Amino acid sequence: MSFGDLRGWIDHLRKEGELQEINAEVNWDCELGTVARKAFGTGNGPALLFNNITGYNKKDARCSQVFTGGLSKYSRVAMMFGLPKDASITELVKAARKAYSGRIPPRIVKDGPVKENILKGDDINLFDFPIPKWHREDGGRYINTMQGNVTMDPDTGRMNVGMYRGMIGTKNTLPVLLWRAQNWGGDFQKWVDRGEEMPVACVYGWEPSLPFCASSPIPPDVSEYDVMGAMRGEPVDLVKCETVPLMVPASAEMVVEGYISNDPSTFEMEGPFGEYTGYFGGDQGPKHKIRITAITHRNNPIFRGTLEGTLPKMLNENSIMSSVQRAALAWNILERSGVPGITDVHCPAANNGTTLIIQMRQRYRGQAKQAAMAIWGSNASHLRYKHVWVVDEDIDIHDYASLDWAFAYRVNAAEDDIIFVPGTFGSALDPSTRLQYRDTLKFGTGKWARVLIDATVNMDFEPQEQYGGERYPPTVRPHQQDLDMVNRRWKEYGFK
């Protein structure tokens, strides 16, 4: 599904009744973030377009609007894929699987709306844009929350588009959280080995496929631009940057160009930030920064950002996106690894893919453990898949009561149905990991003990004659013939 640009996406949401425009004056300092938090709710709220932001509502403002929440509801993710708004989560996961496997290379164009304004030298000023301070405890105004950071492998020329957090440092610096285990961390190391700074371009505001793909763990040798093309069904039009050897969508709202050095003397303070875990993570400290060399933007640009952090009954864009992304990627990993019998995969929105639930048709003993090991051996498990549940195909993996029932009656710790894999790489933002083990400058990543909960029927049990040759006794579910009869007579019983 192609929308042309962010404005085309916003127009589509407006027509579908999925957009709330806020014309009352709203302060960028915590008020905007609080409005977004309340509006996102449990994943049923609208996308938000703020049109009247304190300090940015004058006629001469360079930028006066903020858009957020474009992907904070499953119906809008469905629309991104061109599916009906009421498509099931499993249908969204299947659509993402198909997109991740597709490749449509980008198309190079000479010019585009993002070049309508080109700022260099003293004209560069990040404070000209209504970047919110989303939470009071945030270390600053976080500009990099729903963008695409474009970097390049200097050996192959492959461009990576990732989503990595960053805040305003000074008017022309942008300190970021850069980890060696991430894709742009791999690019960065290659530039460091050459003794050069890494060029980077941050893209704000384009079609929804950009933030969706940028926040997905696409394989390191694949450009997200190719996957975006597959997702939208046509190539992404790219234009050359002004000061860095990179390319960005020609119709993006805004692009920040610059370089990142590995010299600690250039680092600036960054953090903390209200992270995806629902806690403030990445304590304040000196971090790599983008030394900004140019900003290009459209006339009257719309800033695209989002509110991070998930709590029970408080979901957001990352929650909903991760639920689809991480399930689709896990399903692809299982298929590529040769694990048979996978019938559905789900990541509950509340934990952003930290928990993975696999539904399978069991064929042999140890199949659940095989599935978990395949997942944990993938680079996609760096920040996700800490806990893996595996259930049989009769368990609805989208219903927690069903999972709880399977946990109660199909899990026996004495039968190795719960296993621990300690000392694995994991999230440096998870507060359940001791602080000393979350030092990414020292260890490169966090440290996790991963857990498998095998809630499948135990294949080591002997089939029992009294159970009709099954390993478990029959359930109390009514026979189909009895259900059919009762369904036919339901209204006769006085029920609606």
Residue 433: Cβ-neighbour burial (10 angstroms; 0-12, 13-18, 19+): middle
Which helix (DSSP H) or strand (DSSP E) does residue 167 occupy? strand 166-167
Q: How big is the CA angle at 72 (ends 66 and 77), to the nearest 5 degrees?
A: 115
| Amino acid at position 279, single letter | Y
d(CA 407, CA 391): 9
User: Do the Cβ atoms of 376 and 424 come closer than 8 Å?
Assistant: yes
Which helix (DSSP H) or strand (DSSP E) does residue 321 occupy? helix 317-336
Q: Is 253 helix (H, G, I), strand (E, B) or coil?
A: coil
d(CA 183, CA 196): 18
Token couple for 332: 């692809």
Residue ranges of domains in the chain, CATH in brackets: 6-304 (2.30.110.10), 317-455 (3.40.1670.10)
pLDDT reported for residue 251? 98
Token couple for 163: 């989503």
Tokens 């560069």 belong to residue = 124
List residues bridging with 133 in a β-sheet: 29
In order along its 496 residues, the chain shows pLDDT tens digits of: 899 999 999 999 999 999 999 999 999 999 999 999 999 999 999 999 999 999 999 999 999 999 999 999 999 999 999 999 999 999 999 999 999 999 999 999 999 999 999 999 999 999 999 999 999 999 999 999 999 999 999 999 999 999 999 999 999 999 999 988 788 999 999 999 999 999 999 999 999 999 999 999 888 899 999 999 999 999 999 999 999 999 999 999 999 999 999 999 999 999 999 998 989 987 899 999 999 999 999 999 999 999 998 888 899 999 999 999 999 999 999 999 999 999 999 999 999 899 999 999 999 999 999 999 999 999 888 889 999 999 999 999 999 999 999 999 999 999 999 999 999 988 888 888 888 888 877 887 889 999 999 999 998 888 888 878 888 888 888 999 999 999 999 999 999 8
pLDDT reported for residue 327? 97
Omega of the bond leading into 272 within 30 degrees of 0 (cis) = yes
Helices (H), 161-262: 183-193, 209-214, 224-232
pLDDT reported for residue 109? 98
